[in-house]
Amino acid sequence: MLKLIFLISLAVVSTAGMLYADSCTPDCTGKNDLDKVADPLNCTNYYICLSGIPSDHALPCDAGMIFDPEGGNCATGPDCTPSCEVTVCPITCNGTYSFISDPFDCSTYYICLPSNIVTLNCDSDTPYFNGETCVKDKGVCCQVSCTPYCGPGIVEAPDPFDCRKYYICTEEGVPNEAYHFQCDSGDSFDYQTGRCAPGATCKNLCD
Same domain flag for 75 and 53: yes
Q: Residue 99 belongs to what H/E stretch? A: strand 98-101
Structural domain includes residue 118: yes
Total number of domains constituting the chain: 2
Same domain flag for 35 and 80: yes
Structural domain includes residue 111: yes
Structural domain includes residue 40: yes
Tell me which of 39, 62, 85 is where a domain ends.
85
Tell me, yes or no, if the pTM score tops 0.75: no
Structural domain includes residue 129: yes
Q: Residue 53 belongs to what H/E stretch? A: strand 53-54
Structural domain includes residue 147: no
Same domain flag for 38 and 75: yes
pLDDT of residue 194 exceeding 80: yes
Same domain flag for 112 and 76: no
Same domain flag for 40 and 76: yes
Task: Report the chain's mean pLDDT, rounded to a whole number.
Answer: 82
Structural domain includes residue 182: no
Structural domain includes residue 155: no
Give the confidence band of 152 by pLDDT, cuts at 50, 70, 90.
confident
Least confident of 8-22, 78-92, 97-111, 118-132: 8-22
Alpha-carbon gap, residue 64 to 48, rounded angstroms:
20
CA 12 to chain centre: 13
pLDDT of residue 101 exceeding 50: yes
59: β partners: 46
How confident is the model over 50-88, as pLDDT tens digits? 999 999 888 889 888 999 998 999 999 777 877 776 556
Structural domain includes residue 62: yes
Classify the C-alpha dihedral 100-165-189-96 as positive or negative. negative
Distance from first CA to last CA of the chain, Å, rounded? 34
More reliable by pLDDT, 189 or 115: 189
Q: pLDDT > 90: what percent of the chain?
A: 47
Residue 127 lies in domain: 98-140
CB 157, CB 173: distance < 8 Å: no
